[in-house]
Structure 1
Amino acid sequence: MSTRLSLLCVHGVGHSEIDAEFRKSWSEAIIRAVQSVDQSLNPAIDFLSYDELFDKNPPNLVTYGVALAKLLASATVHGIGDLVAGTRSLEDVPTLIRWTAGMVAQWSVDEQLQTTLRNTVLDKLKSGNYDVVLAHSLGSLICYDTFVRNPNAIKDKVFVTFGSQIGNPAVRDIFAGRIKDLPCRKWYHLFNQEDRVLTYPLEIAADNFQQVLTPFDVPNDVLNHNATWYLSRPETVATVWHDVVPVPTSRSIVGAAREVARIDARPTRRALLIGINDYPDPANRLEGCVNDVFLMSSVLQESGFKADEIRVVLNERATTQGIMERLHWLLDGVRKDDERMLFYSGHGAQMPRYSPAGTPDRVDECLVPYDFDWTPEHAILDRQFAQLYSQLPYDSYFVAMLDCCHSGGMTRDGGPRIRGLTPPDDIRHRALRWEASEGMWVPRDFKPLNESLSKRRNGADYVGRNGATQRLGRGMALRTKPDKDYNKIRAELGHHGPYLPILLEACQEEQLSYEYRDGVTSYGAYTFCMAKALREQRGRGTNPSFQELSDLVTAKLRRLKYSQTPNLVGAREQLKAKIPWSMTEPARSERRAPRKRTVKRGRKRPS
């Protein structure tokens, strides 16, 4: 058995002002960690430097500003917004964040620089027989860009990314919205939630990928981005270093057995059902949402779901945190052919949002949790939601059924209740401007989120009628490039963009979603008709496609005189596919056989 261990280290934003002796500190941290596993092993440690390639063409403040605005717009969940709140200029932003944002921006727009950096990494790898590539911060982006385009370069090696911005939506947008798996022996992504240098968690549906949570909060360090802390964490030692340090065969067998057991225990089907009647404000309370949840749970169990595959969260427990925690339960660890179902019954809303520059620039659709207060911190927005679904395998099923509306509305006394909130006047003011020539308030003209997509016939399904609405479940933060550039990058990298869920929505963007009383029992009109349609079809021994089911529900709503038309969004081939629930195993196998081909074709563009 070989006892050698050779590592290549690729630093983040360099600059001697940050750490003049970073090679020494990295080496010491690595040696300590390795020798905590095997005291006799002295690893060979090498470094790749690239700062001079950036220094030849330093970015200006305009480039910094564009990059910082885009990154902050998508990455404030880890407290970065707190660091820049109240700053008057980019010079007030912490130096490391400015450097990182600026260098990422420079790298993202300079194709010649990208090519030079890739060649630099490839040349370095050819010069030594490395077992492990350790890449920090910006170095992780450079390495991933190299390996996704030159997969043989990382084959049979261990790839470790830490303090990395790869999962950041603004960075993923550079790669056409999706981070692919790599043919390395193992890819470890170390993530510290306290790291505020534009980092993000990352999920990849591959058995050779593992995200490792490495929490640390260094005293007097507001950024918590230090590479040596990542490398030295007990969680890193227990996973990365115990993996890469040569070990006796018996230990390897035990580790492999544990991994097999972990994979075998993975659930293949889950459903999360959310219902909120009792909002804190009595004026916002609904009647049928909890009934909807129990109705859908019964229908799903009749359709093949087991009771322990379904989780429910209701009323005061359905807070922002409570919903997000359960969404992680629903969507973490999804693999090929897995089935996931999200059902939401409650209020929806639209929130005009400010850009990091402090000006309104778009509208966000959101689900309204129990603790909703018209702030992004207490709403379920697509920017959080997309982080969970956009990396799902193309050949999995994730269905989101939303019985709510986002256009607002008021309930008339004695009339059916409406499942949407109208913004308070101060919030609504963000989306308006005064038209002096008409002497009236008119909608503000926002810049389109994606101009080429907004011009399509079905563009409103993705960016709203105003072209500037972040619609739930569409992943538009990962899809800002024009079609030509987006399609070019997808073709180069060999993927089809972010995963797109199958969205079953109660109504169109500007319509209202109503409640229905079945005798004295209230339900969502949409949910009631959906349950009826599913049960009727099963009673006939038929299994409709998602498109056929939506058409059946639409017809029922019209017969009940409801002026709401359900909306169906998803990849074309999946919408035509039979609903996977309550199918015999032969039928399930027949349904899945062609999907690997057709689903990928359908992912090429929203349809």
Structure 2
Amino acid sequence: LIAYDLFVHPPQKAGTLDFKFVTFGAQIGNPTVRGMFGGYITEIGPQFWYNLYNQKDEVFVVSLRVPSQAYLQVETLFDEGHDAIGYLTHPNTVARVWRDIATSQAVPSQLTRRAFAAPQAVKKAARKPAPPRALLIGINDYPNPEDRLEGCVNDVFLMSSVLQECGFDAESIRVVLNERATAQGIRERIEWLLSDPVPGDVRFLYYSGHGAQIPGYGPGDTVDRLDECLVPHNFDWSRETAFTDDNFFDLYSQLPYETNFVTIFDCCHSGGMTRQGGAKVRGVNPPDDIRHRMLKWDIEKEMWVERKIDSPNRELETEFTGESKAKRRLGRAVNLRTLPSKEYDRARQQYKHKGPYLPMIYQACGENEYSYEYRHGVTSYGAFTYSLARILRRLGHQGRGITFSGLRDRIAKDLIELGYQQDPCLIGPGALCSQTVPWRGSGSRAEGKKK
């Protein structure tokens, strides 16, 4: 950590440093440590950085992605875990690091990369933005019959057709449905979605299914937060089968700032019910043993009440931590935003970055609202997704574009007209929310003025 800080801020009298930076068994990617640097790890200048990573090293070591052509993570798997000799003498280290340094290769050869680097860590030469890439997830057939939905698979096919009309290539859209959409299956496909990003890339994540919130645990195995989560097919209320922000913040929080990563979650996290008329809700209620962890007995009132949980950072806006200030909302990398505002701003200025990458996030409803299914004749869709697709198609036929914030407003209006009391949310970098949705031809015009 000291070496990283030194190389990011070399002494003024040091001149131009000529070195190769090699880290192994490093905790710099750990969320607690990254939070100290403002939540984002930057490149160290023109010098090349090799990070030796062993997934069996349990001494607070995690995988690290750095948005730089001068960075490479080398997989060095061995059983001893946190052992310097194991890292430094690993065959991949010898072939990928020491050989490169000995021959003074600034950037490793393509042949060596293919032979020794893990697929997600492959270091490629600089390239232009690739065609837009999308991952669409839909789950109807949950194991519990009471949890089954009707419109999620339809949503996926609807979104795929709309995206292709908007310029996405069919081969760049991947789909995972029902029993294949396990927690691990979703994680693996998101790794594909966000792999090898460069500035200007467009990546699109869509989820249609149940949402929930589960207790999160801190020191002493005590509940210290609530985590919003997606509900995979194999979900059983354990953290191993839930898909929380902890499952993928490491994949998006280090994206290049110029990457366009858009996420859409057509689900809710307020529990489930069926409203009058039969419209299903895309959220599930916790079983009583899980619910008990979030309650306490009020002796004076002689009733169960929600447990008060201290917020790790009350200065964060409710869009990140919810009304309770003790929730980790999806896609916000809250665990990297723990510094008080003044210290956070100081760290970002000192290390010359903007903090963790923040995706453009659409959620089908507000924090304490329900996301409903809509029945279009005899075919079910998510009410939010149906409105989204209808608006994009209508604008496409008219040859018009729309801003991200304008799209949210139009969907909200459409849902009211359909009779649904759900107010969709949009969070993202302020400057981007006022920009035109980039899924239309270059001749389209934005709806509304840019700020």
TM score, norm. by length of structure 1: 0.69
Cα distance in 2 for partners of 1:365, 1:473 equals: 10
Residue type of the alignment partner of 2:40 = R
Residue equivalent to 2:172: 309
Out of 564, 579, 582, the position equivalent to 2:440 is 582
Aligned residues between the structures = 439
Once the two structures are TM-superposed, the CA of residue 396 in structure 1 deviates from its matched residue by 1.1
Out of 410, 424, 431, the position equivalent to 1:566 is 424
SS of residue in 1 equivalent to 2:315: helix
CA deviation digits over 1:556-600, x for unaligned, max 9? Answer: 10000000000000111110011111232x889x9xxxx9xx9xx
Comparing 145-154 and 183-192, the one that deviates more: 145-154
Once the two structures are TM-superposed, the CA of residue 149 in structure 1 deviates from its matched residue by 2.1
Residue type of the alignment partner of 2:296 = R
SS of residue in 1 equivalent to 2:22: strand
Residue type of the alignment partner of 1:148 = V
Residue equivalent to 2:262: 399
Residue equivalent to 1:168: 30
Cα distance in 1 for partners of 2:124, 2:338 equals: 40
8 Å Cα contact 1:449/1:463 also seen in 2: no
CA change 1:166–1:151 in 2 (3 A) is farther
Once the two structures are TM-superposed, the CA of residue 411 in structure 1 deviates from its matched residue by 2.5
Once the two structures are TM-superposed, the CA of residue 420 in structure 1 deviates from its matched residue by 0.4
Residue equivalent to 1:416: 279
8 Å Cα contact 2:129/2:200 also seen in 1: no
Residue equivalent to 1:59: none
Residue equivalent to 2:57: 195
Once the two structures are TM-superposed, the CA of residue 308 in structure 1 deviates from its matched residue by 1.0
CA change 1:255–1:265 in 2 (3 A) is farther
Out of 482, 506, 510, the position equivalent to 2:368 is 510
1:483 equivalent in alignment to 2:341: yes
Residue equivalent to 1:466: 324
SS of residue in 1 equivalent to 2:220: coil
8 Å Cα contact 2:399/2:444 also seen in 1: no
8 Å Cα contact 1:544/1:578 also seen in 2: yes
CA deviation digits over 1:437-496, x for unaligned, max 9? Answer: 22221111110131122xxxxx22110111100100111100011111111111111111
8 Å Cα contact 1:151/1:183 also seen in 2: no
Q: Which runs of 5+ in 2 are unaligned?
A: 116-121
8 Å Cα contact 1:449/1:469 also seen in 2: no
Structure with the larger helix share: 1
1:148 equivalent in alignment to 2:5: no
8 Å Cα contact 2:400/2:444 also seen in 1: no
Residue equivalent to 1:230: 87
8 Å Cα contact 2:137/2:206 also seen in 1: yes
Alignment of 1:259-278 (within 5 A): 263-264=126-127, 267-278=130-141
Q: Percent identity?
A: 50
SS of residue in 1 equivalent to 2:391: helix
TM score, norm. by length of structure 2: 0.92
CA change 1:145–1:359 in 2 (3 A) is same
Residue type of the alignment partner of 1:391 = Q
Cα distance in 2 for partners of 1:279, 1:347 equals: 9
Residue type of the alignment partner of 1:546 = F
Out of 49, 53, 72, the position equivalent to 1:210 is 72
Q: Which has the higher contact order (CA 8 A, sep 6+)?
A: 2
Cα distance in 2 for partners of 1:184, 1:490 equals: 20
Residue type of the alignment partner of 1:360 = V
CA change 1:313–1:567 in 2 (3 A) is same
Cα distance in 1 for partners of 2:380, 2:105 equals: 64
Residue equivalent to 2:148: 285
Residue equivalent to 2:118: none
Cα distance in 2 for partners of 1:551, 1:316 equals: 34
1:375 equivalent in alignment to 2:238: yes
Cα distance in 2 for partners of 1:261, 1:500 equals: 24
Once the two structures are TM-superposed, the CA of residue 296 in structure 1 deviates from its matched residue by 0.3
1:246 equivalent in alignment to 2:109: no
Larger radius of gyration: 1
1:495 equivalent in alignment to 2:358: no
Comparing 205-214 and 148-157, the one that deviates more: 148-157
8 Å Cα contact 1:158/1:184 also seen in 2: no
Cα distance in 1 for partners of 2:109, 2:327 equals: 51
8 Å Cα contact 1:344/1:403 also seen in 2: yes
Cα distance in 1 for partners of 2:163, 2:385 equals: 13
8 Å Cα contact 1:188/1:209 also seen in 2: yes
Once the two structures are TM-superposed, the CA of residue 155 in structure 1 deviates from its matched residue by 3.8
Cα distance in 1 for partners of 2:186, 2:104 equals: 42
Residue type of the alignment partner of 2:31 = P
CA deviation digits over 1:519-553, x for unaligned, max 9? Answer: 10110000000000101111111110100011111
SS of residue in 1 equivalent to 2:23: strand
Residue equivalent to 1:535: 393
CA change 1:426–1:171 in 2 (3 A) is same
Cα distance in 1 for partners of 2:210, 2:392 equals: 24
SS of residue in 1 equivalent to 2:50: strand
Cα distance in 2 for partners of 1:475, 1:248 equals: 36
CA deviation digits over 1:90-132, x for unaligned, max 9? Answer: xxxxxxxxxxxxxxxxxxxxxxxxxxxxxxxxxxxxxxxxxxx
SS of residue in 1 equivalent to 2:2: helix
Out of 430, 439, 442, the position equivalent to 2:293 is 430
1:550 equivalent in alignment to 2:416: no
Residue equivalent to 1:320: 183
Alignment of 1:178-193 (within 5 A): 178-193=40-55
CA deviation digits over 1:397-451, x for unaligned, max 9? Answer: 1000000000112225851111001111111111111112222211111101311
8 Å Cα contact 1:347/1:367 also seen in 2: yes
Residue type of the alignment partner of 2:88 = L
SS of residue in 2 equivalent to 1:329: helix
CA deviation digits over 1:241-285, x for unaligned, max 9? Answer: 221012799x97987999997544974521100000001111111
Comparing 558-567 and 439-448, the one that deviates more: 439-448
CA change 1:429–1:243 in 2 (3 A) is same
